[in-house]
Chains A and B, each alone.
Chain A
Amino acid sequence: MDSAPTTRPASPRRPKYYDLSLANLPPPGLVSIFHRVSGVLLFFPVLPALLYALQAALGSEEGYAQCRDFFGHPLVKIPLLGVIWLYAHHFFAGIRYLLLDVHIGIMKEPSRRSAYAVLVLGLVATALIGWRLW
């Protein structure tokens, strides 16, 4: 048996451990996990809630008025901002994935920059729509 050690560079040290906790994820990782979480939450409970609201708002004059009052309430507007962010983040992260699929910005640095852009755009869009709603 030949057990002569092969020479390796002194670094990097192995095994290498990655800190995968949420607070230490790089931006592309954050975009990815938020994309998943927002997708699940949009499937349930956001979509049925919005369908219910649409049904009420289109169904009758009283339903429309109730809907207006409900969404006009400050305690509803704040969680509504959260819902808008879920959609906005999913939207921008999705566009980033479509671009990555056609090999636009797949290298490490561009993909990191686009991930930052997605995180910022999600918040900016939420702020803009929130501002229009108020």
Chain B
Amino acid sequence: MKAYTKNPVGAHYGLGDWLLQRLTAVVMAVYTVVALVTIAWCAPATYADWRVMFAGTFFRPFTMLFLIALLYHAWVGMRDILMDYIHPTGIRLALQSAVAVVLLLYLIWSASILWSR
């Protein structure tokens, strides 16, 4: 009789996601500091100032990068939390799908906010 051996092979996305969650965290942390400094520096007081701040060739793409990093980070985090607490497979998959769809909608929305002129 063959003894039960645990098959240690997973789907292999774990380590990559773990690493990307850290990488996206670093991007967001840097953006957070840059954004606070930018806001303190520009001190936008009127609608025009506010528009100018986001019209720059630096702040707008960096904001988009931040939002993309945030959405990937949120995907890994939300998936981890759902895997930890929601055990029935069907409900978990439904919730994970809902999170994925919501995140994609946030992405489209973010791009349209930043580039609709």
Contact = CB atoms under 8 A, between A and B. Distances in A.
A39 B78 CA distance: 8
A41 B81 CA distance: 12
Contacts of A25: none
Contact of A58 (B70, B74, B113): B113
Interface in A85-113: 87, 91, 94-95, 98, 101
Interface residues of B, number: 22
Contacts of A64: 47, 50
Query: Interface range on chain A: under 10, 10 to 19, 20 to 34, or 35 or more?
Result: 20 to 34
B96 interface: no
A43 B76 CA distance: 12
A39 B74 contact: yes
Interface in B58-117: 70, 74, 77-78, 81, 99, 102, 106, 109-110, 113-114, 116
B20 interface: no
Main secondary structure of the interface of B (DSSP, over half): helix
A94 B114 CA distance: 27
Contacts of B74: 39, 42-43, 47
Nearest to B103: A43
A49 to B, nearest CB: 12
A57 B44 CA distance: 12
B22 A51 contact: no
A64 B48 CA distance: 10
A6 to B, nearest CB: 27
Contact of B50 (A44, A47, A57, A95): A57
Interface of B: 22, 25-26, 29, 32, 47, 50-51, 54, 70, 74, 77-78, 81, 99, 102, 106, 109-110, 113-114, 116
Interface of A: 36, 39-40, 42-44, 47-48, 51, 54-55, 57-59, 61, 64-65, 87, 91, 94-95, 98, 101
